[in-house]
Amino acid sequence: MDAGHAFFDEAASPLWMGGSSVAVLVLVLVINAFRKERRRQLRRTLGWWGLYTAFGLAFWALGESAPEGLHRFLGGGTALFRSYTLVGCAALLVFDVVLPALRVPVVRITSDLLVGGAYAFTGLAVLSAAGLDFGSALAASTVAAAVLTISLQSTLGNVVGGVAIQLEGSIRPGDWVQLENGKQGRVSELRWRHTLLETREWDTIVIPNSALLAGQFTILGRREGKSTSHRQQITFQVDFRHAPGDVCRMVHDALLASPIPNVVADPPLQVLCLDLGRENRDSYAHYGVRFWVADLGQSDPTDSIVRARTFAALHRAGIPLARPSITQFHFEQGENAEREREVRRRARAVATLKAFSLFHSMTAEELDHLAANLVYCPFDAGETITRQGAVAHWLYVLESGSCEVVTEVEGVHRPVATLRAPDLFGEMGLMTGEPRGASVIALTPVVCHRLDKEDFERILSARPALARDLSEILADRRVELAMVREELTAEARSLRMATERQRIFERITSFFGLS
Ligand code: CMP
């Protein structure tokens, strides 16, 4: 009997078969009793034990009478499956019973590699002990490789995913990530098989690495070359009694006045009017405060501080948050009510005109007439009120706010003057018939009243002295404008001033046909 036969006999001996059966049985009982959740892991070992028993029984049953090839096949199988059964039992005992019971953390990839290696090693050892040649050993090692692959199967995709994530550095511990299902969490750990996300609710999301790579996720607040900051938004509503421009500016200035913990300075905070009454149903405008936070874990408390400061700022400015409301328009009927409204409106307009020395010589009746023709016309900061080159239709009376007069020379905008209420502008185009000589842009929210050309003409015809006063203002402005445009010297300026007043006066009187 050669070494191979002796080895087969020993592998199929009642002692080994009985002993291994008892070992498997004990393991089944232990796992069923104490670690039910690991029952799945039993299956493979039970499979090896089944094969071992089947091959062993067949080996004994046929005995020496079997042909040599079959005898070696059954003997070799018995020895191989005995070793696999032993490796399976040992792996179960160590990684699924003892280490978890001792609360020793087991990294799945490590246990898989160890167990897979043990299968391969014992497989090769058994086959060489059985006296098999290299070709058979190679075939057997292929079997072992298959076994290894099978044992790694569940984790292989995840491991590859984990390695890819770590190599690429696409996610790093500490990053805030939003998953496809909308859940957000901070990456606490990148493991071989899965990635752990800690949520704001103090939960931990476990995402298999393969799933992380296959799906789409958003890394919050990360932008190439910038420090981490994520945009947050809080919203509020204010009714239409308050101009959106005023509300935005006021809240913006109030929020910038003192630093807010966790809100970064760059990108800067914004206050926006998001909508003017949604679906035509609301009686208020929707606003949003957008700001960037450094620590997303503290985003809820930061939102709360921004809300509280916004509320306080509105409160200080006497602007209440909108309440659900229904607007009822109440019309006073009858001639008297109409007349009273008109009287009130004119009184306000006359008060505005009286602020101008230009109109001081006008009688109350003339002022009232002029006021009757003024059209209320507000602008927000940044809006262009008149544009250079446009045809002039109106004279503007500036009641409140300030504007900048800007002229464009060869594509470059140059500031000419700043107008502060009370003042008027647009007289050049209206009085000379020339296109607007400059653009006038609101620097702040502005209240203007417009007077159209026909009404203006009527007033000038009734009071030609106004033409002289206006031509003086106009001449001064023109020279100033020319200085910016043509870069005049001081000497040229005073020369131009003297001739300009007379020239403009003549131009105006002829343009309006005044005597
Ligand atoms: P108009 O040319 O009709 O439109 C642009 C207006 O800007 C102009 O009338 C003037 O009212 C005003 N404007 C032009 N130049 C000056 C200036 N130098 N100072 C003040 N206002 C000016």
Burial 422-447 (b: 16+ CB within 10 A, else e): bbbbbbbbbbbeeebbbbbbbebbbb
pLDDT-derived band of residue 305, with 50, 70 and 90 as boundaries? very high
pLDDT-derived band of residue 435, with 50, 70 and 90 as boundaries? very high
Cα 249-250-251 angle, rounded to 5 deg: 95
User: Is the distance from CB of 362 to CB of 441 less than 8 angstroms?
Assistant: no
Distance (angstroms) between ligand 1 centre and the Cα of 417 equals 8
User: From atom 6 of ligand 1, which residue's Cα is the shortest distance away?
Assistant: 426
Relative to the CA of 484, which ligand 1 atom is closest?
Answer: 18
Q: What is the reported pLDDT for 193?
A: 79
User: With pLDDT > 90 as the criterion, what percentage of the chain qualifies?
Assistant: 34
CA 478 to chain CA centroid, Å, is 50
Residues 129-154 pLDDT 10s: 877 665 665 666 666 666 665 566 56
The residue among 177 and 126 whose pLDDT is bigger is 177
Q: What is the reported pLDDT for 242?
A: 92
CA atoms within 13 A on the CB side of 318: 1
User: From atom 17 of ligand 1, which residue's Cα is the shortest distance away?
Assistant: 477
pLDDT above 80 for 70? yes
User: From atom 19 of ligand 1, which residue's Cα is the shortest distance away?
Assistant: 477
Relative to the CA of 480, which ligand 1 atom is closest?
Answer: 18
Average pLDDT, the chain: 85
- Flag the least confident range among 235-244, 323-332, 368-377, 422-431: 323-332
Q: What is the reported pLDDT for 109?
A: 61
> Which mutation among 405, 414, 441, 474 tests ligand 1's pocket best, with the greatest number of atoms within 8 A of CB?
405
pLDDT-derived band of residue 281, with 50, 70 and 90 as boundaries? confident
Find the residues whose C-beta lies inside 6 A of ligand 1: 386, 392, 405, 416-417, 419, 425-429, 436-438, 440, 477, 480-481
Question: 318's torsion region: left (phi>0), alpha (psi -120 to 50) or beta?
Answer: left
Q: What is the reported pLDDT for 1?
A: 46
Q: What is the reported pLDDT for 422?
A: 86
Residue 418 is inside which H or E element, if any? strand 412-420
pLDDT above 90 for 465? no
Strands 284-293 and 230-239: antiparallel
- Flag the least confident range among 2-11, 62-71, 255-264, 411-420: 2-11
Residue 300 burial by CB count (10 A; 0-12/13-18/19+): exposed, middle or buried? exposed
The residue among 387 and 359 whose pLDDT is bigger is 387
* Beta bridge mates, 286: 237, 275
- Flag the least confident range among 236-240, 324-328, 431-435: 324-328
pLDDT above 70 for 332? no
